Amino acid sequence: MFPLMLNVTTMPVFLIGGTAGLGYRLDAMIEYGAANVHVFAIAPDAEFAARAGRRLQARWPEPSDFENLRPRLVFIADVDDDLAARWRRMAHAVGGLVHVQDRIPLCDFHLPAILRRGQLQVTVSTDGSAPGLARILRDHLAAHVFGAEWSARVNEVSLARDGWRREGLPMAKLGEAILSFIRTRGWLTSK
């Protein structure tokens, strides 16, 4: 699997299926600022419907939805393989990438376990083979390596980097300057 960070702020995204599997995806899309999300779910519960708001369409998507909205990412959860495979074909026809929860053969991509500290994101992946292990490792990193203080540290390094660039420090030297900066502060010492 090739790791990649995507800007989902304007990208058309479909969430399709049962609300149990879509809740986390919906929350993630909201957290990451996705503004073009379309949720397709039959008979969603009241809580999920409220979270989805105007994004929700209480029906399954049709070929015209794929053709007109042209989703780039499609998340499918809690449906049988035949239905998931049908929507996967529709997504592929318009250039979309698909993730079907717990159905590795139907996935174009997998999602890592994500640890966020402000703008710092640390991800752990097992290429979909052991997602529980990825979550355990992420939680270990959160508890023992990357505490809440890292959010401010990223901002501090970013400001310093901007200053060094304004001063004309060559790109090749920025990495060395950042390493010296964090070593001086003792940020990478064991707890």
pLDDT digits (tens, 9 = 90+) for 91-115: 999 999 999 998 989 999 988 999 9
CB neighbourhood size of 18 (10 A): 17
- Number of domains forming the structure of the chain: 2
- Supply the pLDDT for residue 129: 85
Closest alpha carbon to 160 in 187, 141, 135: 187
46: helix, strand or coil: helix
- On whether both 17 and 65 belong to a single domain, the answer is yes
Block means of pLDDT (10 residues each) for the chain, 191 residues, are 90 94 92 96 92 96 98 96 97 98 92 92 90 94 94 96 95 93 88 50
Phi and psi (nearest 5°) for 177?
-65, -40
Is 122 within a domain? no
Is 69 within a domain? yes
Displacement of CA 113 from its chain's centroid (Å)? 9
Q: Give me Rg for the CA atoms of the chain.
A: 20
Pairing verdict, β 120-124 and 13-17: unpaired
- On whether both 76 and 159 belong to a single domain, the answer is no
- Supply the pLDDT for residue 3: 84
Percent of the chain topping pLDDT 70? 99
The CATH number assigned to the domain holding 96 equals 3.40.50.720
Is 144 within a domain? no
Distances (CA, A) of 187 to 20, 122, 147, 161: 39, 16, 11, 17
- On whether both 39 and 91 belong to a single domain, the answer is yes
Domain extent, residue 156, equals 150-185
- CA torsion sign for 128, 100, 36, 48 is negative
- On whether both 33 and 95 belong to a single domain, the answer is yes
- Supply the pLDDT for residue 106: 95
- Supply the pLDDT for residue 146: 94
150, 116 contact by CB (below 8 A) = no
Closest alpha carbon to 118 in 142, 145, 153: 153
